[in-house]
Amino acid sequence: MADTMKGLKRTHYCGTVTPEMIGREVVVCGWAQKTRDMGTLVFIDLRDRTGIVQLAFDDKTDPALLAKAQKVRAEYVLMARGVLRQRESVNHEIPTGEVEVYVTELRVLAESNTPPFAISDDSRGVKEDLRLKYRYLDLRRPEMQNAIAMRHRIVKIARDYYDTNGFYEIETPILIKSTPEGARDYLVPSRVQQGRFYALPQSPQLYKQILMCSGFDRYMQIARCFRDEDLRADRQPEFTQIDLEMSFIDEEDIMAMNEGFMKRIFKEVLGKDLETPFRRIKYQDAMDNYGIDKPDTRFDLKLHDLSEILKNTEFSVFAGAIAGGGSVRGYKYQSLGPHDRNGDPLGGLSFTDVSLEARFRITESFGIVPFVDGGMVYETTMPDWGRDLSWGVGLGFRYYTLIGPIRLDIATPLQDRDNNKAFQIYLSIGQAF
């Protein structure tokens, strides 16, 4: 039969004990992360949402208590009372690694079967469907708990920031009349009005416009939104957004307000200082230089327009794109071959969209790089573009949707690469639109 908490109350979280508290009696609760049984020495790593602290038992521990500790297994729920003391061997990998709790009382509040996967940050090799089946175990992992804690802090800061700037937080209805949006609605049948339905909101757009017409001037909400659309990396059936609306302002007011919010978020959550105002890039410049309207500018890897170089090419795919008002563009970077940020070979949509791949040999001479195509040579004054050329094909609007993500996949820092390795150029073909 499991022990109870009766007569004992937690005094500290596991991750909050410090060397300044040595000698004090503490009571901690949590889950057994792992145990180490060395006969007359037993150590248990006890975990809660704040971190891990080591529980210690030795040859001076009461024999019954030591025997109880030896039976503890992973994910047992424990409550322990003891005296905080200095650890003989410091663990520098955890914040509480200088101290341990020398246990005088141990209660097993719940036993556990062997979990189907380890409760740790390393979830590699654990299938997602298994994690979702045992979601309560998955949510115990520090990675998941830290993500949820960060979300909590962001929401708290959002409410404080917008309140300071004169916004009212106003809840809007969830059961609404269907309004035109960018996706399909989720429908909820009405019990009292047979044959009629409510829709779940894709956004609070209609209601926040009503609020502006009503003179509330500044509105914000941590809004739940529901959209019946195909799953993507940044899309799911329901999500939360920080929604706001302002009256009697211009676009600079909106950008300044939200830049201030992002600056505060990065400072208070990540400890990073952002310079404001943020850098502004025209849409067409972003697309032409980076292939995406939200470029990562932490590294300098820009698209180069090679249409002029290849304007007389007989290669039909290139020639067709250029003749149609499109372009052939590419990135230059250093690599052994087409690999992504994890070192895995690149493939799939980026390079084989139309199952077409070509490789040209380039020779360098006096800083002039000739492109060899069907026996013809096209020269460019761009130096050091290398010897190997790989390219991928995307037509129409898919041009930018292909070439933009490639930039992120090849963004391994150049200073970490061997300068003697071949350069790669990834090309994509785009038509005018």
pLDDT tens-digit readout, 113-138: 999 999 988 877 899 999 999 999 99
pLDDT in tens, 131-159: 999 999 999 999 999 999 999 999 999 99
Q: What does pTM read for this prediction?
A: 0.75
Q: State the average pLDDT for the chain.
A: 79
Predicted pLDDT at 9: 97
Under the banding of pLDDT at 50, 70 and 90, the label for residue 296 is: confident
Residue 416 has pLDDT above 70, yes or no: no
98/235: higher pLDDT:
98
Overall average pLDDT of the 383-396 stretch: 36
At 10-49, the pLDDT tens digits run 999 999 999 999 999 999 999 999 999 998 999 999 999 9
pLDDT for the residue 409 = 65
Summarised one tens digit per residue, pLDDT across range 303-335 is 777 777 767 777 676 677 778 777 777 666 544
For residue 12, give every residue at least 6 positions away whose Cβ sits within 8 Å of its Cβ, in sequence order, or none. Answer: 21, 26, 27, 28
Q: How far apart are CA 51 and CA 48, in angstroms?
A: 6
Lowest mean pLDDT among 101-115, 227-241, 344-358: 344-358
Distance separating alpha carbons of residues 103 and 100, to the nearest angstrom: 9
pLDDT tens figures, 152-207: 999 999 999 999 999 999 999 999 998 888 889 999 999 999 999 999 999 999 99
- Cis upstream peptide for 116 (omega within 30°): no
